[in-house]
Amino acid sequence: MPKIIQLDYDTREPVGTYDNIRLAANDNYLSYISLRERLARGEGTAVYNDKKLIFIKAYKPKPF
């Protein structure tokens, strides 16, 4: 599973890193399934405007 980075809603600066989607969801009182689906629909970005939360997947570069 990819690491998840939480960004500040206003400045878009990283404020936290989670080892997986479930930890990010639990720490922010979100449904694991909801966060997973928003990340999939948003191509790696999940925005919760009502809660002022933003999450992105941390990508690892592929070796050549």
CA distance 63 to 37: 28
Write down the mean pLDDT value for the chain: 94
Structure token pair of residue 58 = 């941390």
Report the C-alpha gap between 60 and 31 in whole angstroms. 25
SS (H, E, C) 32-55: HHHHHHHHHHCCCEEEECCCCEEE
User: Does the pTM of the predicted model rise above 0.75?
Assistant: yes
Neighbours of 37 (CB within 10 A): 12
Instruction: Give the model's confidence band at 36: pLDDT under 50 very low, under 70 low, under 90 confident, else very high.
Output: very high
**Chain segment 42-58, per-residue pLDDT in tens:** 999 999 999 999 999 99
- Is a pLDDT exceeding 80 seen at residue 39? yes
